[in-house]
Chain A
Amino acid sequence: MLLIKIGGGKDINLKGIISDLAALQEAFLIVHGANALRDQLAEALGLPRKTLTSVSGYSSVYSDEAALDLLLMAYAGLKNKRIVELCQQHGINAVGLSGVDGRVIQGRRNRGIRVRQNGRLRIVRDFSGKPQSVNRELLQWLLDHGYTPVLTVPIIDEHQTAVNSENDDIVVQLHKAFQPRMIIQLIEAPGLLADHQDPRSWVEHLSPTQLEGWEARVTGRMKRKLLALRRLFEQGARTVIISDGRGPHPIKDALKGKGTVIR
């Protein structure tokens, strides 16, 4: 089984990805983002994205109630259903679910982030959380009956509230439940970049033990992505391929090892 994570960048070639997936014999699960669409909708609605950086250097999206409504529109609504539609057009009987539907992705509300504002240390809370488990029974039933789950945020927390979460952490939980033979992450870059401003600096191979060193070198969201990758391998992941989602055949390329292969 494969676990496919599709990034939410604006140049991701969804048609190419879905048509490649339609040719596979193997079962797969899709998790997708929609950050470019979310930002586009936010601008149209006059709701600018708010981000926070914790005192220890991790940056996060601040999800208030309006931001969560926007997330439902962009991720669970428009993007999810468009991907499902594309799947149907390519003969994949997809079922689009947010983590709230059928409690597919369950998590715990974040206890807050420490930020420094005007020289003062504060804890800020919002509608965000960490996935802790998945409804494996429901997902397995869908897979066993020929359906392909297409998953996205929000997830559901311990108060039965929809909360934003990080797709990389959702992938960690899905990996724990299904132990796929390979995880393919499609992004808007040729792979992991040694220098984030230089697309030619992508790294072809990494060992799981090298991830920690990389984590110390990067900042912002990349730091969190690497931490999630490290967790995948701590849990026994075999292969993760981070590949370019913009080409004509992103899945075929990834399966050929084009991108950053971590194993």
Chain B
Amino acid sequence: MLTGLCPLCDARIQLEADVLPGELVECPECAMELEVVSTHPIRLAEAPQEEEDWGE
């Protein structure tokens, strides 16, 4: 298991060992939706809210 820090509330978040960049997780403390922006080292950021009708 890997761990990351919630950028909002500093809670420790457990992540799967094979976590991928772009994966979305929810902070168990503050419920913020977070994106794994890098895996080496683990860095989490608030997930962007995208528009639904995307691309071509």
Q: Which residues of A contact B (CB under 8 A)?
A: 54, 56, 58, 60-63, 110-114, 120-126, 128-130, 153, 164-167, 169, 224, 227-228
Say yes or no for B20: interface residue by CB 8 A criterion: yes
Known: A123-B47, A123-B48. A113 touches B54 (CB 8 A): yes
Say yes or no for B23: interface residue by CB 8 A criterion: yes
Nearest 4 interchain pairs by C-beta: A128-B55, A60-B55, A111-B48, A121-B24
Inter-chain residue pair count (beta carbon < 8 A): 66
Task: Give the CA-CA distance A114 to B48 in the complex, in Å.
Answer: 10
Q: Are B23 and A121 in contact (CB under 8 A)?
A: yes
Q: Are A128 and B23 in contact (CB under 8 A)?
A: no
Q: What is the CB-to-nearest-CB distance from B13 to chain A, in angstroms, rounded to a whole number?
A: 15
Q: Are B56 and A123 in contact (CB under 8 A)?
A: no
Q: Are B51 and A130 in contact (CB under 8 A)?
A: yes
CB-defined contacts of B24 to chain A, threshold 8 Å: 114, 121-123
Q: Are B52 and A122 in contact (CB under 8 A)?
A: no
Q: Are A54 and B52 in contact (CB under 8 A)?
A: yes
Task: Give the CA-CA distance A169 to B51 in the complex, in Å.
Answer: 13
CB-defined contacts of A130 to chain B, threshold 8 Å: 51
Known: A111-B48, A112-B48, A123-B35. A58 touches B22 (CB 8 A): no
CB-defined contacts of A165 to chain B, threshold 8 Å: 55-56
**Chain B 18-56 residues near chain A, CB threshold 8 A:** 20, 22-24, 35, 47-56
CB-defined contacts of B55 to chain A, threshold 8 Å: 60-63, 110, 113, 126, 128-129, 164-166
Identify the interface centre among B22, B23, B24, B55: most chain A CB within 10 Å of its CB: B55
Known: A63-B56, A128-B56. A123 touches B22 (CB 8 A): yes
CB-defined contacts of A122 to chain B, threshold 8 Å: 20, 22-24
Q: Are B48 and A224 in contact (CB under 8 A)?
A: no
Known: A122-B23, A123-B35. A56 touches B52 (CB 8 A): yes
